[in-house]
Structure 1
Amino acid sequence: MILEILFFVKIITYFCGSNLNIATMGVTRLKRKDRKNKARANNKVARIKQLLKVPVIKNVDMDELRAQFGEAPKNVEAPAATTEETSAE
């Protein structure tokens, strides 16, 4: 009878031990998933910060820039004059 009980205890500990091993594998996978999720979130925050960076604004001489491009063309009243001539005819 004692031998049967010891044999039964060995069987239970054998199966319980294997079940515990499977449970730790699941926890390992969850830890890995947690690390990936954190890394993904950190990468997203880093990318947003990079996109929001503002370039350094330098003091620019506007008169010098205007001189490089020349003067802007002035508004010409020619289209208005042509409409008056056509209505007079």
Structure 2
Amino acid sequence: MDDREENFEQDEEYQSAGAEKPFDIVHNNIGGIVSLVLKDGRKIDGTLAGYDLELNLVMENVKILRGENVKEMGLIIVRRNNILAIGDHVLT
């Protein structure tokens, strides 16, 4: 079995479990309010404005929560390797 066949089988198995692929989840939430949890403990709420092929995210109208402190920013780019979780707007 070559790599393409193995990847296809893995993709098929992933879809049959009822789960969406990460790109689908991100793409379906463009323009919506999402929350991120970062590796350093910060939590970010904002509008998901876009993403690239590496799944780096562009966020607008952002609130960054660190402990009790909240910082508001207009536009940020979050690198994929800093993100632990993406979810519905529930953090701030």
Question: Do both share a fold (TM > 0.5)?
Answer: no
Q: Quick check: which has more Rg, 1 or 2?
A: 1
Quick one: higher RCO (CA 8 Å, sep 6+), 1 or 2?
A: 2
- TM-score under structure 2 normalisation? 0.21
Query: By percentage of residues, which structure has more strand?
Result: 2
